[in-house]
Structures are given as structure tokens and as C-alpha cells.
Amino acid sequence: MNHTARTLSALTIWTVSMAIFFLSNPTRVRAFTMTPLNTLSTSRSVTRLNYFQHQVIASTDLLDTSNYESKRVLQKRQRKWIEQSTHYYTTIMKNEKRRTKGQLKNQHLRQHKKNFQIAKKLYFARNKIHNGDLSHAEVIYRRLIHELSSEEQDCDHAQLATSTLLLALLLQRCNRYDETRKMFDDFFHMVHKEEGDVFECVCCAKVIQAYALFEMKQGNKKKSFRLASMAVKMDEDLHSVFRWKQFREAQQLVENNQERTLSKES
């Protein structure tokens, strides 16, 4: 009896325990949890980081390259400017032969530097004319003429003649004829004052020839012929100017006036 009661009690306790266990529905507990990485997002982040790093490196290289190229371009422009200005100066001066004694002097380093500075100024003025800035070009020419004519000694007539011719052409282009005539007169009087009545200078002869052509365009035939005759005395190579119809007519006009004058005196 006692044995049977104990068995029933044990069975009852086991049944109740199992019921409580199943009714409680316990959740499983993990010691730790591992969440899988989002491999796609991580890959994109790494790729983006590498991209920005490459961009920074590329930008730095590009900046260095750009600075280097800018320096090269600047140096190339400077060399081109020097070459063109020197070539321009040589071109306009190549026929400016000076034959009188003391005109052909030894070209020292100082003189070379001076010629180079004049070349740059003349070429700069030429560019200003091409760009339509005629007033700036005029300032350059006038300043250069003033500097050359103000030299106490070793005044280079060739450089002064070239600057005078270029300014005279510019003034004619602007229809400023009175100022053009004054430029020629000032040059002629200055050279005449320095050299006297008898002198031979090719560069000066060309300025006087240009003066003669200017007066011919203005209708002053007699004055034009006298100036042309003076230029030919300085440089016989300019004698071909008398082959022009205008100068032949001017020569005939001057000769007729001389004949009339002689006939009146007689």
C-alpha cells in the first residue's frame, strides 16, 4: 500500500513538472550572437575610399603638372617675344648704314643692352598698333625719341630715324598732318644742328625722303622736290625716286620757276 502510494505520488509530481515545462514555452538562449557582415556595403565603402585617395593623388599630380606647364609656356612666350622683337628691330635697321666717320662705333655690351631695350619697345609699340591701341603706341614712340635725342653724346641717328619714321607713319594714319610735319622738321633740324651743312647719313636720308613723300601727298610739289634732292645727296641709292611721275612733274615745275627767275633778273 505504501509502495503504491509512493509510486502514484512520484508519477503525479513528474506529470505536473512536465506540464509546467511545456506550458512555460522557454526560449532558447545563445551564449553569443554573430551578425554576418554586409559585404556589399563594405566593398562599396572601400572602393569609394580608394577612389577619393586616387583623386587626391591625381589632383596633386595635375597641379604640379599644371604649374610646370605654365612655367614652360611663360618661358616659351618670353623667348618668342625676345626673338621677335630682336628680329623686328634687325629688319627695320638692316639698311641703316652709317658711312660718316665716327658713326660706326665699337658695339660694347652696354650698347647691345641698349639696342635690345629699344628693340623690345619698338616691338611692343607695333603690337599695340595691331591691337588698335594707337595712343599707347604713340606714347612709346615719343618717349623713345625723347630719350634718344636727350643723350648728351653718342646719339644714334639710325635709332632716332627709325623711331621718327614709325611715329610719322602713325600720325599720318591718324590724319594728324600738322604734327607729322613737325616731327620731320624737328628731326631734320636736330641732325642738321649736330652734323652741319655737309653730312652723309643713309638713315637720315630715308627720313628726309619720307618727308618728301609726305609733302608730295599734301600737294607741296616744290618743297617735296627740294627734300627729295637733299635725300639723294645723302644717299645716291635713293635717286630712283625721281623716276616717279609726281617727282618728274615737280622737277619740271622747279626748273620752269628757275628759268623765269633768271629771265627776270636778266
Q: Quick check: is 162 in a domain?
A: yes
Contact between 127 and 97 (Cβ < 8 Å) = no
pLDDT, tens only, 97-145: 444 434 444 555 666 777 788 888 888 999 999 999 999 999 999 999 9
pLDDT for position 259: 76
The residue ranking higher by pLDDT, 53 or 239, is 239
Which residue range(s) make up the domain with 263?
200-266
Q: Is the pLDDT of residue 154 over 60?
A: no
pLDDT, tens only, 181-217: 999 999 888 877 766 555 567 788 889 999 999 999 9
Q: Are residues 232 and 121 in the same domain?
A: no
Q: Are residues 263 and 234 in the same domain?
A: yes
Q: Are residues 155 and 214 in the same domain?
A: no
The residue ranking higher by pLDDT, 57 or 123, is 123
Q: Are residues 124 and 186 in the same domain?
A: yes
How far apart CA 195 and CA 147 sit, in angstroms, is 19
Q: Are residues 140 and 208 in the same domain?
A: no
Q: Quick check: is 28 in a domain?
A: no
pLDDT for position 148: 86
Degrees to nearest 5, angle at CA 104 with 166 and 111: 70
Q: Quick check: is 61 in a domain?
A: no
Q: Is the pLDDT of residue 261 over 80?
A: no
The count of other CB atoms within 10 Å of the CB of residue 187 is 25
Query: Where among 181, 198, 215 does a domain terminate?
Result: 198
Q: Quick check: is 100 in a domain?
A: no
Q: Is the pLDDT of residue 30 over 50?
A: no
Q: Are residues 89 and 189 in the same domain?
A: yes
Q: Are residues 183 and 119 in the same domain?
A: yes
Q: Are residues 222 and 139 in the same domain?
A: no
Assessment of whether the complete model's pTM goes beyond 0.75: no
Q: Quick check: is 136 in a domain?
A: yes
How far apart CA 231 and CA 206 sit, in angstroms, is 7
Q: Are residues 121 and 230 in the same domain?
A: no
Instruction: Identify the weakest region by mean pLDDT among 3-12, 16-25, 72-81, 210-219.
Output: 16-25
Percentage of residues in the chain with pLDDT exceeding 90? 26
Q: Quick check: is 29 in a domain?
A: no
Query: Where among 150, 182, 198 does a domain terminate?
Result: 198
* Domains identified in the chain, total number: 2
Query: Where among 198, 231, 247 does a domain terminate?
Result: 198
The residue ranking higher by pLDDT, 90 or 125, is 125
